[in-house]
Amino acid sequence: EDKVVQSPLSLVVHEGDTVTLNCSYEVTNFRSLLWYKQEKKAPTFLFMLTSSGIEKKSGRLSSILDKKELFSILNITATQTGDSAIYLCAVEAGRGGADGLTFGKGTHLIIQP
């Protein structure tokens, strides 16, 4: 059974701090790893990672994948209160076709002013 584990489950920091969110996985036929930010409604797409060691960056957010050690990290620098959300890691794995994602439980990030 495919498994995605995120840590920490919950994190409270002050504005301006840098945070690192972790995601490890055990899946058969790995295809890609995705990060989503979920506030009150739909998860919004952040990054899709398929290759090891290549950092993806968008503003203050960056992410990297290690396919040998089976994990990914999501970094957020100079955090702002608007970064408060649940960050979901999901892995696409399978035989091909439109395989569903397996989600981790999420990291609930709270940024205090």
Partner 1 sequence: AAGVIQSPRHLIKEKRETATLKCYPIPRHDTVYWYQQGPGQDPQFLISFYEKMQSDKGSIPDRFSAQQFSDYHSELNMSSLELGDSALYFCASSLGQGSPLHFGNGTRLTVT
Site for partner 1, rule CB under 8 A = 31-32, 34, 36, 41-45, 48, 88, 94, 96-106
Q: Which is nearer to partner 1, 20 or 44 (CB)?
A: 44
- DSSP output for 47-65: EEE-STT--EEETTEEEEE
Q: Which is nearer to partner 1, 1 or 69 (CB)?
A: 1
- Give min distance, CB of 13 to partner 1, in A: 22
- Give min distance, CB of 14 to partner 1, in A: 25
**What are the CA-CA distances from residue 35 to residues 14, 22, 49, 82, 113 (Å)?**
22, 11, 9, 17, 25
Specify the residue for token string 């993806």: 56
- Rg of the chain, C-alpha, whole Å: 14
- Give min distance, CB of 76 to partner 1, in A: 19
Return the structure tokens found at 93: 């794995």
Q: Which is nearer to partner 1, 60 or 105 (CB)?
A: 105
- Give min distance, CB of 29 to partner 1, in A: 12
CA proximity to 46, closest of 79, 110, 96, 90: 90
Q: Which is nearer to partner 1, 78 or 110 (CB)?
A: 110
